[in-house]
Amino acid sequence: MPDPTFPAGGDPADFRRRRLLQAAGAGAVLAGIGPLAFAASASSVVATTRSGRVRGVFEQGVHAFRGIRYGADTAATRFRPPRSPQPWRGVAEAIAYGASAPQRGHDGPGSEDCLFLNLWTPGLRDGGRRPVLVYFHGGGYDTGSGSDPLYDGGRLCRRGDVVVVTVNHRLNAFGYLYLGLLGGSEYAASGNAGQLDLVQALRWVRDHAAEFGGDPGNVTVFGQSGGGAKIATLMAMPSARGLFHRAWTMSGQQVTAAGPRAATQRAQLFLQALGIDPAAPDALPRLGALPVERILEATAVRDFSRIEDTRLYFGPVMDGETLPRHPFWPDAPAQSAAIPMVVGNTRDETRAFLGNDPQNFALSWEALPARLERQQYVDLRADLVVAEYRRLYPHYTPSEVFFVATTAGRSWRGAVEELEARARQAEPAAPTWAYQLDWGSPLDDGKWRAFHTLDIPLVFDNVRQPGSRTGDGPGAQKMADAMSNALLALARHGDPNHAGIPGWEPYSMARRQTLLFDLPPALADDPRGGERRLWQQAPFIQRGTM
């Protein structure tokens, strides 16, 4: 399956080279410097953490720290909750990004020693009490890292006088393989180990915000794709209660989590792929002793779910303890009712990961139903779906119907479920705002439109960063102004409204108000309502739940 965090039409090798160049930290890293080497310079800055001092760099008016350790090497606690880092002496260098989690994607192969975060701030120990924005990366629960050039927090930090943090954490089997019913209490939290890493990172932010000029009582989490889903899951995790105060999710929802039976069945498949009998008494010790490469190889085993794009699913597990309920079913989690929230999607999500197949741009009406049936997550007759879309949009081509229907049926539906759940919460629940990015990329003659991941460089105000697919024209910058200022307004005031957009009303069941980010932005009631009603004929069950 294509990496959903990598924009369609790009060159993965070139992307990786650019990310490595970005990791050089504006030329501050010298060849051969170790993690505790002393490399002071006129531009270096030092901060103090509970584990020891760290050295960053001062660049373009911002203090930047890359690769701060917030947890110990997870190799010693594989499939178990994270531990705090061991204290160190001297000054640890935080001028280069830390290792990503083990994975098969563009950020791989990674390392089990991956609990690092990156931080940008205008001031150190200055009593600034700035809003803190913590970003969780996409890639589902399978790939990615907080080190992508598009996640560089410098411009957002300068634009809003805020602290920006990005995070690495355990993924795929290392973060979400549920062994609780196979390995006993020691592995009870294994299905949510990656989520507990994020909890650990948020605790680190709480404990160190003041040192880095931030306010521990004003933390906004934001994330795209898998990052948004991780936020939705944290909103239902008791251990995350009180660690963040606003939430902004982009094209990433988690309505239901994997059940313990389904998660255990996947664990059994995984062990069998490794040649380990799940019922053997030494199954878990053997698994714990395997090299990282063998575990990653086994993640490629085919899942038993209906959707055909897929390797074995890994994601949060409703284990009764770490995650005691589904994140947004049958209602929104009460523990997060007071958190103002933004839920957003892009207008043409699936062009990012289904647009890499040229056949999808040349479909006939005859071929469309079968192609659609293989890619829709909601179980409706594909021929009836096509007929309804032809009625709603008689001017659409078969390929346009394919992309818009797959977007609505598999990418947008979860957002509707979360918005409705939040809108039904009793007063005095905090408001929820909905958006849809309609503005499309001008590159490749507009072929990709408003594809999945397009909003990342816009909210970070990073349209000129390597990897951005927005172009660098005035339209892209206007969209970045509108979206990044909305994120900053939410972080500072708990409300995303600002002078550059029309009045953005909270989502309600009566009107379903949605801000359409375009040039110009516009507020609409129930946009694409016909599509919403079509897909709501069938119950929504998130992939991986069963």
328-384 residue pLDDT tens: 999 999 999 999 999 999 999 999 999 999 999 999 999 999 999 988 888 899 999
The set of residues, in sequence order, having a beta carbon less than 8 Å from that of 160 and lying 6+ positions away, is 131, 484, 485, 488, 491, 492
Taking the CA atoms of 81, 86, 87 and 91 in sequence, report the sign of the dihedral they define: negative
Among 2-16, 328-342, 459-473, 527-541, which is the least confidently predicted range? 2-16
pLDDT at position 307 is 55
Please tell me which residue, 95 or 543, carries the higher pLDDT value.
Answer: 95
* Peptide bond before residue 82 is cis, with ω within 30 degrees of 0: no
Q: What is the mean pLDDT of the chain?
A: 92
**Token pair belonging to 30:** 């010298």
137-153 pLDDT, tens per residue?
A: 999 999 999 999 999 99
> Is 60 exceeded by the pLDDT of residue 23?
no
Q: Which residue has the tokens 């948004």?
A: 228
- Give pTM, 2 decimals: 0.93
Burial of 340 (0-12, 13-18, 19+ CB in 10 A): buried
State the pLDDT at residue 511. Answer: 98
Residue with the bigger pLDDT between 21 and 197: it is 197
Catalytic: which of 44, 147, 251, 349?
Answer: 349
Question: Could you confirm whether 531 is annotated as catalytic?
Answer: no
**Is the torsion defined by CA of 322, 324, 327, 332 positive or negative?**
negative
- Element holding 57 (H helix, E strand): strand 53-59
pLDDT of 39 strictly over 80:
no
- Please report, for the chain, how many H helices and E strands are present, in that order: 17, 13
CA 322 to CA 191: how far, in whole Å?
Answer: 9
DSSP β-bridge partners for residue 45: 56
CATH at residue 165: 3.40.50.1820
Per-residue pLDDT band at 304 (split at 50, 70, 90) = confident
3-state secondary structure of 391: helix
Cβ neighbours around 97 below 10 Å, total: 25
Q: Tally the C-alpha atoms within 13 A of residue 281's C-alpha that lie toward its C-beta.
A: 0
How confident is the model over 307-322, as a mean pLDDT?
86
| % pLDDT > 90, the chain | 86
Query: Of these residues, 51, 100, 190, 225, which one is catalytic?
Result: 225
Per-residue pLDDT tens over the stretch 498-513: 999 999 999 999 999 9
Instruction: Give the list of residues 6+ apart from residue 70 with CB closer than 8 angstroms, or none.
Output: 85, 115, 116, 117, 167, 200, 201, 204
CA atoms of 439 and 444, how far apart (whole Å): 15
Structure tokens at 44: 């270096």
pLDDT at 30 over 90: no
Q: How far apart are CA 323 and CA 510, in angstroms?
A: 31
pLDDT for 306: 59
User: Is 385 a residue whose pLDDT tops 70?
Assistant: yes
134 beta partners: 165, 221
Which pair of tokens denotes residue 449? 């439109």
Instruction: Check whether 34 has a pLDDT greater than 70.
Output: no
* Residue 12 scores a pLDDT above 80: no
CA distances to 134, 280, 348, 432 from 229, rounded to whole Å, are 14, 34, 19, 16
Sign of the Cα torsion 227, 448, 418, 409 reads negative
N-to-C CA span, the chain: 20
The amino acid at 445: D
Count of structural domains within the chain: 1
DSSP 8-state code for residue 258: B
The most distant pair of C-alpha atoms in the chain lies apart, rounded to whole Å, by: 69
Residue 109: cis peptide before it, omega within 30 degrees of 0 = yes
Residues 402-432 have pLDDT tens digits of 999 999 988 899 999 999 999 999 888 999 9
State the Cα torsion 230-234-235-239 to the nearest 10°.
180
Q: Let me know: does 458 contact 483? Beta carbons within 8 Å.
A: yes
The catalytic residue among 452, 468, 484, 531 is 452
3-state class (DSSP) for residue 6: coil
Q: How far apart are the C-alpha atoms of 533 and 527, rounded to whole Å?
A: 11
Report pLDDT for 331: 97
Reduced to 3 states, what is the DSSP secondary structure of residue 41?
Answer: coil
Dist CA 258 CA 180 (whole Å): 13
Report the alpha-carbon distance of residue 454 to residue 345 in Å, rounded: 10
pLDDT of residue 308: 52
| pLDDT tens digits for range 74-96 | 999 999 999 999 999 999 999 99
Q: How many CB atoms lie within 10 A of CB 474?
A: 9
Domain range for 306 is 1-546
CA triplet 383, 389, 392: central angle to 5 degrees?
Answer: 145
Are the C-beta atoms of residues 342 and 248 closer than 8 Å to each other? yes
Look up 349 and say whether it is catalytic: yes
281 pLDDT higher than 90: yes
Q: For residue range 435-486, what is the model confidence (pLDDT) as tens digits?
A: 999 999 999 999 999 999 999 999 999 999 999 999 999 999 999 999 999 9
How many residues does the structure list for the chain?
Answer: 546
In the residue annotation, 225 being an active-site residue is answered as: yes
Across 92-101, 128-137, 537-546, least confident range = 537-546
Pairing assessment for the beta strands 53-59 and 44-48 based on DSSP bridges: antiparallel
- The 3-state DSSP class for residue 538 equals coil
Cα 341 to Cα 212, 250, 336, 455, distances in angstroms: 25, 11, 10, 17
What is the distance between the alpha carbons of residues 280 and 270, in angstroms, rounded to a whole number? 14
